[in-house]
Amino acid sequence: MAIMAMLIGAVLVLLVLWEGFETIILPRRVTRRFRITRVFYRSSWRPWTWLIHNFVPVRRRETWLSYFGPLSLLLLLSIWAAVLITGFALIHWGGSWFLYRNGGTDLINDLYLSGTTFFTLGIGDVVPKTSLGRLLVVIESGMGFAFLALVISYLPALNQSFARREVSISLLDARAGSPPTASEMLRRHSHHGGAESLRELLHEWERWSAEFLEGHLSYPVLAYFRSQHDNQSWLAALTSILDTCALIMAGVEGTCNRQAELTFAMSRHAVVDLALVFRTQPRQLPADRLPPAKLDEICDILRRNGQKLKERDVLEQNLSELRLMYEPYVHALSRHFKVGLPPWVSREKGLDNWQASFWKPPGKHQKASEQSEERHF
C-alpha cells in the first residue's frame, strides 16, 4: 500500500510538471489528445455557458462570459498547486520519513507538511528522520518557489499579448464599423488614396494574424479573454478581415489584390490552427451569411462609391469558393466561444463605438447586437 501511494504521488507530481511545462514554457502547439488543461477547459466552459444562458439576462451575458477567462486561469493554477501538494503528501505518507511533534503519521499530517513546504512557510513543527526526507523537503520547497515565479512571469505575458491583440481590434472600429463588416471597410476606404490606406491596413492585419496565431498557440487561454465592447471580438474582427479579402480577391478590381491574398492566407491559417487547438470541427452554417440579395446590396454600395467590380456571376462564384475555405471554421469557433459572427452589411445605421458614450448610447445598434447575441445562444 505504501509503495502504491508513493508511485501515485510521483505520477501526480510528474503529470502536473509536464502540464505546466507545456502550458507556460513550451512555445508551440501541443498535439497529444489527453491533457489536464484541455479537459479542464472543455469540462468547465460548457457548464459555465449553460448557467449563463439559463440564469443571466441577455444584456449581462457578455459580461459574465468575460469572467471565465481570468477565473479559469486562477482556478487552473490552484488545481496544479493542489495536485502537487497531494502528490508530495502521498510520497511522504508512503515513506514515513518525518517525525511530527503530535506523534501523528496519517495522511492529513502529510498534507499539512506538504502544503507548508510547497508554500515555503517553514513552520518547523516537523522533523525529517532520514536524508531522503530532507531531500524531498528541499525539492518540494524549491518547486513551490519555482511555481510562484512562473505564475508571476506568466500573467504579465498574458496581459501583454491580450493588449496587443485588442489594440488592432479597437483601431478597426473607425475603419470598418461596430461590429466590423466587409462592405463598410471597403466603403470607408473608397476616398482618394483609400486603396493605399486599405493596403496598409490589410498588411497590418497580415502581421496581426501571425502574432495572434503564435500568441494563442502558446497561450490558448487567451481565446477565452473577451474584448472590452460587446459588439467586438477577436473572431468577429478576424472574420471581417477574411470577408474583406475574399471580396477583393473575388471581384473588386483596381485595389490591393496581392495584399488581400497574403492577408487572407495568414488569417485563414490562424483560424484553421485555432480550430485544431480547440477541437472545433468545421461545420456548415445553418443559414447563408451572404444571400443573393445581400450580395446585390454590397455590389450597389461599392459601385456607388466608385469601385469597379467583375461580372456578377463571376464575382459570386469566386466568392463562394473562397468562403468555403474559412466560414465552416469560424462558424465552429463562434459556436464554441459563444461569439456572434459579423454580418457582411451593417444591420443598422447606428453609432460606432468611438461615437457613443455612457450618456449617448448606440441605441438601435446596441439592441441589434443584443438580439444577435440572444439568437446565438
pLDDT in tens, 14-40: 988 888 887 777 766 655 566 778 788
* pLDDT tens figures, 72-82: 989 988 999 99
Query: pLDDT band for position 355 (50/70/90)?
Result: confident
C-alpha cell at 277: 487547438
Can you say how many angstroms the Cα of residue 159 is from the centroid of all Cα atoms in its chain? 12
What's residue 123's pLDDT? 67
Q: Over range 224-232, report the average pLDDT.
A: 88
* pLDDT level of residue 371 (50, 70, 90 thresholds): very low
pLDDT at 208 over 80: yes
Show me where the domains of the chain are located.
2-152, 172-376
Q: Where are the alpha helices (DSSP H) in the chain?
A: 2-20, 36-55, 58-95, 107-118, 131-171, 173-176, 182-188, 194-218, 234-251, 257-277, 292-304, 312-323, 327-337, 364-376
pLDDT mean across residues, the chain: 85
User: Cα–Cα distance between 14 and 314 in angstroms, integer?
Assistant: 58
pLDDT for the residue numbered 101: 64
The model's pLDDT over 175-202, given as tens digits with 9 standing for 90+, comes to: 998 889 999 999 999 888 888 999 999 9
Q: pLDDT digits over 268-308, tens only?
A: 999 999 999 888 999 988 889 999 999 999 999 999 988 88
Instruction: Please give the biggest Cα pair distance in the chain.
Output: 88
